[in-house]
Amino acid sequence: MIDERRERLTKLHAVVDACRRCPIGGTRTKVVCGVGDPAARLVIVGEGPGESEDRQGEPFVGRAGELLTRMLAAIGLRREDVFITNTIKCRATSDESGRIANRAPMQEEMANCRQYLDEELAIVRPRIILALGAPAAKSFLGPGFSITRQRGMWFKGPGGADLMATYHPAYILRLTGGNMTAVKKLVWADLQAVRHKLDEVEQEQAPPITPQADAELKLDL
């Protein structure tokens, strides 16, 4: 099953690699598709690739990516245990007097790329989706979603997955002092809720304990 999903993701990656639907398809260095466990129970969705991701062709590999790796480790997960992707697969940039800078994805770019995110989710079929930052959350929950008021709440996402949004690690890195501490606390609470939900899902899928196995367990005690 995992091999079949991996193969489908590889085929999708090849299609995305050839995509030039938006002008940023012509300015990117590398297309950045989702990576990780093709049968992950948890999918992380960010906004879009930044400079490091564009160079390496992998999501969340810059400073924000390092923070995401630490966030996952804090709830006992490695990057390879989850599937990590973005709402758009090319780096959105603007030319500011010759200096290439990141910018937020345009609505049109998100709409153009949506089909690839939907296909990734249809292949991986996660039970939980964690959207990082307001743009990713709004892409699932609509423009009325407020990250300050509604982060940490559970919603229904694609394929019936439980979906939560929290702050993007890049946002946390832009904060300083008490603001950073306060936002980190909120994110920590959200991550713990995700861990709890993941434990529930894993328990549901664990094989039932047979009377004999139960007896062996008691003997071990």
Residues that bind ligand SF4 (CB under 6 A): 16, 19-22, 24-25, 31, 88-90, 109, 112-113
3-state helix, strand, coil in the chain (%, to 5): 55, 15, 30
By the 10 Å C-beta count (0-12 exposed, 13-18 middle, 19+ buried), 5 is classed as middle
Contact 15, 33 (CB under 8 A): no
Contact 106, 92 (CB under 8 A): yes
Q: Which is nearer to ligand SF4, 120 or 190 (CB)?
A: 120
CB of 145 to ligand SF4, least distance (A): 21
CB of 51 to ligand SF4, least distance (A): 16
> How many beta carbons lie within 10 A of that of residue 161, not counting itself?
19
Q: Which is nearer to ligand SF4, 15 or 217 (CB)?
A: 15
CB of 205 to ligand SF4, least distance (A): 33
Q: Which is nearer to ligand SF4, 24 or 64 (CB)?
A: 24
How far apart CA 202 and CA 5 sit, in angstroms, is 20
The letter for the amino acid at 164 is: M
CB of 133 to ligand SF4, least distance (A): 17
> How many beta carbons lie within 10 A of that of residue 159, not counting itself?
13
The owner of tokens 């990713």 is: 136
How far apart CA 154 and CA 89 sit, in angstroms, is 26
Q: Which is nearer to ligand SF4, 116 or 145 (CB)?
A: 116
177-205 and 63-74 helices, crossing angle to 10°: 50
The secondary structure of residue 158, as a DSSP letter, is G
> How many beta carbons lie within 10 A of that of residue 35, not counting itself?
19
CB of 28 to ligand SF4, least distance (A): 7
Measured from each CB, the residue nearest to ligand SF4 is 25
Q: Which is nearer to ligand SF4, 67 or 117 (CB)?
A: 117
CB of 3 to ligand SF4, least distance (A): 25
Q: Which is nearer to ligand SF4, 53 or 109 (CB)?
A: 109
Q: Which is nearer to ligand SF4, 58 or 162 (CB)?
A: 58
CB of 139 to ligand SF4, least distance (A): 13
